Amino acid sequence: MTATTAGPGKAAAAGAAEERKVAVVEPLYVASAGVVSAAGLGLDALAERLLGGGEAHDEPVGEDAAEYPPRPVRAVRGLDVKEHLGRKGTKYLDRLTSFGLISCKAVLEGIEVDGARTGVVLATNTGSVSTHSTLLHDTLTLEKPYLVNPGRFPNTVMNSTTGQIAIRNGLRGLNATVAGGQTASLLAFRHARLALSLGRADRLLVGGVEELSAPAAWAWHRTGVLREGAALGEGAAVFTVQPDRPAGGELAELLACESRFTPDPRDYADGLAVAVSRALERSGVEPGEIDVVSLGAVHQRGLEAVERRGVRVALGGAPSATLRIADALGETYSASGSMQLAGLLALWKAQPPVTPVTALITSVGWDGNAAALVVRSPR
């Protein structure tokens, strides 16, 4: 990123403002991707689902499957953790950590890693809701509180997944967990861009992870935030992000990522429009150059209209094409921004564009946060 300073006086301030206005960020490159979703493992499985193939199941899985509310669920199925990670140290892994570890194993495959200069920036909401609820239940129902399973305690920490990723893969660089609700994944990409620009790392694993559980499903169901019939989802999408173009070619270029907080719900659409306009400006991209918009709030009552209005304001009209990843994978909340990026990459890999495509990923939350990321397909 480019920083500018100005001397005193209105003319200097105006000049500095103009200089900041035209400052364009250098692209970051996505070298690889690891995806765990209801579509299966990897970008190919996701592309098949998005292009109309693959079978979509709407029933929950796991020991608490019978306790879910009457709502469609797009769960990750048939995932044998031991097959992917081995038996050692996997006995007490929750779904959240398992998704993160498996996606990161895929993203690092075939890459020579400098552990000292490689880090992790991962988005989540509260960590593993299922682990929290299980320990709380055991504490209240067992004869003595200290009889709860101690092996589950590490998973109650919000940054447990990033810690496990770093330990298992020997990554000693920056290690950050970003909790930002609906916009968490895009905030993670913004954090990663800042860290890389400051030289905190040479390469970062960036993405988001979310798990399904009966308690979380009931929370969504009772609040009435989601449209009737909207499915809940889970999974992880993690990407290798670096400032240097990969020798084997990139999956995408990440341009600017901007965020905005708006305290008044009546102004949420305007807040998103500001975030989008800033991201376009910092990317050196005109509104009319956006070929497709990947929307994040497509299943949320009220927010869906807010997001569409904010995008229209920023682009000067409705986008020519949209991608609704939640229709295929369900609502993945803090991991949704990463899944939105994964969807774009999956389609570009399956059907390479004839000419470079410029995409916009948007996210807006009920807490007033909004974010936008500009992405370009491989040249």
Buried b (16+ CB within 10 A) or exposed e, 70-100: ebbbbbbeebebeebbeeeeeeebbbbbbbb
Give me the domains of the chain, ranges plus CATH numbers.
28-242 (3.40.47.10), 252-376 (3.40.47.10)
- pLDDT (tens digit, 9 = 90+) per residue, 53-101? 767 788 888 888 999 999 999 999 988 888 888 877 776 788 899 999 9
3-state secondary structure of 304: helix
pLDDT at 127: 56
Q: Is residue 341 predicted with pLDDT exceeding 90?
A: yes
Strands 203-210 and 235-242: antiparallel
Q: How far apart are CA 325 and CA 235, in angstroms?
A: 13
pLDDT at 264: 97
- Whether the pTM exceeds 0.85: the reply is yes
How much is the mean pLDDT over the chain?
Answer: 88
Mean pLDDT of the 219-237 span: 93
pLDDT at 159: 83
Q: How far apart are CA 323 and CA 292, in angstroms?
A: 7
pLDDT band at 20 (very low <50, low <70, confident <90, very high): very low
pLDDT band at 25 (very low <50, low <70, confident <90, very high): very high
Query: From the CB of residue 109, how many other CB atoms can be counted at a distance below 10 Å?
Result: 9
pLDDT at 9: 46
3-state secondary structure of 229: coil
Q: Where are the beta strands (DSSP E) in the chain?
A: 28-37, 40-41, 73-74, 118-124, 175-179, 203-210, 232-233, 235-242, 252-261, 292-294, 322-323, 358-364, 369-376
Q: What percent of the chain has pLDDT over 90?
A: 70
pLDDT at 139: 64
Cβ–Cβ < 8 Å for 233, 329: yes
Angle between helices 184-197 and 336-350 (to 10 degrees): 80
pLDDT at 153: 54
Mean pLDDT of the 230-245 span: 96
pLDDT band at 248 (very low <50, low <70, confident <90, very high): confident
Mean pLDDT of the 240-265 span: 96
Q: Is residue 36 predicted with pLDDT exceeding 50?
A: yes
- 215 backbone dihedrals φ, ψ, rounded to 5°: -60, -45
Q: Is residue 201 predicted with pLDDT exceeding 60?
A: yes
Query: From the CB of residue 356, how many other CB atoms can be counted at a distance below 10 Å?
Result: 13
pLDDT band at 133 (very low <50, low <70, confident <90, very high): low
Q: What is the DSSP letter of 156?
A: G
| Alpha helices (runs of H) in 80-228, residue ranges in sequence order | 81-85, 95-108, 129-141, 160-169, 184-197, 214-223
| Alpha helices (runs of H) in 142-263, residue ranges in sequence order | 160-169, 184-197, 214-223
pLDDT at 291: 98
pLDDT at 261: 97
The tokens for 57 are: 């199941």
pLDDT at 323: 97
Q: What is the DSSP letter of 57?
A: P
- pLDDT (tens digit, 9 = 90+) per residue, 270-305? 999 999 999 999 999 999 999 999 999 999 999 999
- pLDDT (tens digit, 9 = 90+) per residue, 144-194? 666 666 656 566 666 888 999 999 999 999 999 999 999 999 999 999 999
Mean pLDDT of the 135-141 span: 60
Sign of the alpha-carbon torsion through 53, 54, 57, 60:
negative
Q: What percent of the chain has pLDDT over 70?
A: 85
